[in-house]
């Protein structure tokens, strides 16, 4: 005859092997495993540091910042004189200037007699009876121009360039902040999958041992074939989970490497050393969302958008204002005859637009509408930023409360397991009931780990958006 007690006990152990978490979660210790000598062991902070220097979004944001600085330098050069050099020349088929006596004195009798005399005598003397020039000429000169007043456009252009540098710097900070949040999430995902792999490995080791015992029990007639097959089925289920987890871990590591700016092949040697067993309370991170909004990068960018439209309005107005410049030029050339001459001059120019006021007025009115729109967006989006911070904080508090409930559930399950153990030792409880208490405890431990990771992700999101430092 088969022993009913043994059947119940073995069935319970099989259920335990499939469902419960091993002691690694209860003790909070990390099971060491052999690593290749070339393994890349990284902490969370090291991953963040690598990503801050290698992530493509951070690199591109930095390039935008460097580009904005160059544009600011370009705008600053408009304060200084502009120097240019020009050279030119020509050769005409016929001289451009040809003057005779009649061209100067007209067609009076005296002029006609003088013209006749010159035309008669000039060939005898070997000269032409008329004057011609500008058959060819050349010139070259250097010009220097210094703007004195350009309607405020130079000053406002430099201010606009400074806003561009500040906006690029803020965008770079946002890119780095987003990388920190992204890296932490991906890091936690890998850690979570690795911990699940430890659970499966422990379960496989336990079911392997149980299968040997069950096989011996079946050979002794203490277990039915169906009970033996159930143990075998549990082993196959766990091995299938191990295969899926192995692929998932590799993909998660590759995703983490890609986010850090490393080659995907580095995932083969990547090992993460941080494990997250403790969590600080929400009070360590809280600050008033209404006060935090104005220190956020997004809020400052909204303010810069308003300032940009204000400067664009001033630039449009500057196009209708007088413009004053002074300059100097020096050069040499040949225009008339064969004499080369050098000369220099200083000059001043004053440009007073007369018909540009209507165009500038229309343009300024258009920019004014855009300015009102930017101001409306600043007010609306600032309120949305505050709402977002409050939502993130609600998620932090909710995740913390859920974590505390799971802590209570773990303590309660432990207490029930202790009572069940005592009852089992005196024969007041079956092995099946005792093993169910063990399953309940380890399920509670699993839920607490999930709650802990959810809380850390919620805190990371709030910290990243608010700029609050970890304490």
pLDDT band at 165 (very low <50, low <70, confident <90, very high): very high
- 149 pairs with which residues across the strands? 324
Nearest Cα residue to 58 out of 161, 153, 180: 180
pLDDT of 207 reads 67
DSSP string of 274-310?
--------GGGT---HHHHGGGSHHHHHHHHHHHHHH
Residue 329 corresponds to which tokens in the numbers above? 């030029």
> Which SS3 state, helix, strand or coil, does residue 221 take?
coil
Residues 6+ apart with CB under 8 A from 149: 321, 322, 323, 324
The predicted-structure confidence for 417-450, as pLDDT tens digits, reads as follows 789 778 856 768 644 465 566 657 666 776 777 7
Q: How far apart are CA 273 and CA 250, in angstroms?
A: 16
Q: Look over the chain and give the mean of its residue pLDDT values, rounded to a whole number.
A: 78
The predicted-structure confidence for 235-294, as pLDDT tens digits, reads as follows 787 788 789 889 988 999 999 988 888 888 888 888 888 777 677 888 888 888 888 887
Q: How far apart are CA 183 and CA 32, in angstroms?
A: 24
Q: How far apart are CA 209 and CA 203, in angstroms?
A: 10
Q: Whole-structure pTM over 0.75, yes or no?
A: no
Q: How far apart are CA 450 and CA 447, in angstroms?
A: 5
Cβ neighbour number for residue 393 with a 10 Å cutoff: 23
pLDDT of 223 reads 56
Nearest Cα residue to 310 out of 268, 368, 250: 368
Nearest Cα residue to 78 out of 164, 142, 144, 147: 147
What topology does CATH give the domain 4-96+134-466? Answer: Outer membrane efflux proteins (OEP) (1.20.1600)
The predicted-structure confidence for 283-312, as pLDDT tens digits, reads as follows 888 888 888 887 788 888 888 999 888 888
- 97 pairs with which residues across the strands? 133
Q: How far apart are CA 48 and CA 184, in angstroms?
A: 8
Candidate ranges 382-391, 392-401, 417-426; pick with highest mean pLDDT: 392-401
The burial class, CB within 10 Å (0-12 / 13-18 / 19+), for 217 is: buried
Q: What is the 3 state secondary structure string of 7-57?
A: HHHHHHHHHHHHHCCCHHHHHCCCCCCCCCCCCEEECHHHHHHHHHHHCHH
Q: What does DSSP assign to residue 83? A: E
Q: How far apart are CA 333 and CA 387, in angstroms?
A: 73
The predicted-structure confidence for 339-368, as pLDDT tens digits, reads as follows 778 888 898 988 888 777 778 888 888 888
Alpha carbons within 13 A on the beta-carbon side of 350 = 1
The predicted-structure confidence for 191-232, as pLDDT tens digits, reads as follows 878 877 876 777 677 667 666 766 776 677 655 676 566 667
């Amino acid at each position: 005859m088969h022993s009913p007690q043994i059947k119940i006990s073995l069935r319970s152990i099989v259920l335990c092997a499939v469902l419960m978490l091993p002691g690694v979660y209860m003790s909070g210790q990390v099971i060491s495993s052999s690593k290749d000598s070339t393994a890349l062991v990284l902490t969370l902070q090291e991953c963040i540091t690598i990503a801050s220097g290698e992530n493509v979004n951070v690199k591109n944001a930095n390039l935008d910042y460097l580009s904005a600085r160059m544009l600011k330098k370009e705008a600053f050069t408009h304060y200084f004189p502009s120097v240019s050099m020009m050279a030119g020349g020509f050769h005409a088929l016929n001289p451009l200037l040809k003057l005779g006596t009649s061209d100067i004195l007209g067609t009076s009798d005296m002029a006609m007699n003088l013209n006749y005399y010159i035309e008669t005598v000039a060939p005898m003397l070997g000269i032409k009876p008329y004057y011609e020039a500008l058959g060819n000429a050349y010139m070259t000169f250097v010009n220097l121009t210094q703007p004195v007043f350009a309607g405020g456009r130079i000053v406002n252009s430099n201010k606009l360039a400074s806003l561009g540098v500040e906006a690029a710097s803020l965008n770079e900070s946002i890119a780095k902040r987003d990388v920190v949040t992204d890296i932490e999430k991906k890091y936690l995902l890998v850690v979570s999958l690795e911990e699940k792999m430890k659970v499966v490995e422990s379960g496989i080791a336990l079911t392997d041992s149980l299968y040997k015992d069950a096989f011996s029990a079946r050979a002794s007639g203490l277990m039915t074939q169906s009970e033996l097959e159930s143990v075998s089925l549990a082993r196959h289920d766990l091995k299938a989970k191990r295969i899926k987890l192995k692929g998932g871990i590799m993909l998660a590591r590759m995703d983490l490497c890609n986010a850090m700016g490393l080659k995907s092949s580095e995932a083969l040697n990547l090992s993460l050393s941080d494990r997250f067993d403790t969590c600080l309370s929400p009070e360590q991170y809280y600050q008033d969302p209404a006060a935090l909004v104005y220190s956020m990068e997004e809020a400052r960018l909204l303010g810069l958008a308003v300032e940009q439209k204000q400067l664009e309005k001033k630039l449009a107005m500057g196009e209708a204002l007088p413009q004053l410049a002074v300059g100097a030029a020096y050069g040499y050339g040949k225009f008339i005859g064969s004499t080369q001459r050098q000369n220099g001059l200083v000059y001043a120019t004053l440009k007073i637009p007369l018909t540009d006021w209507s165009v500038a007025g229309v343009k300024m009115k258009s920019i004014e509408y855009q300015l009102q729109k930017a101001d409306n967006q600043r007010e609306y989006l600032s309120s949305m930023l505050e709402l977002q911070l409050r939502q993130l904080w609600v998620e932090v508090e909710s995740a913390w409360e859920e974590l505390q409930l799971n802590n209570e559930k773990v303590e309660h399950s432990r207490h029930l397991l202790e009572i069940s153990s005592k009852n089992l030792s005196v024969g007041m409880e079956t092995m099946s009931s005792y093993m169910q208490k063990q399953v309940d405890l380890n399920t509670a431990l699993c839920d607490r780990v999930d709650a802990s990771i959810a809380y850390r992700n919620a805190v990371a999101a709030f910290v990243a958006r608010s700029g609050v430092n970890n304490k």
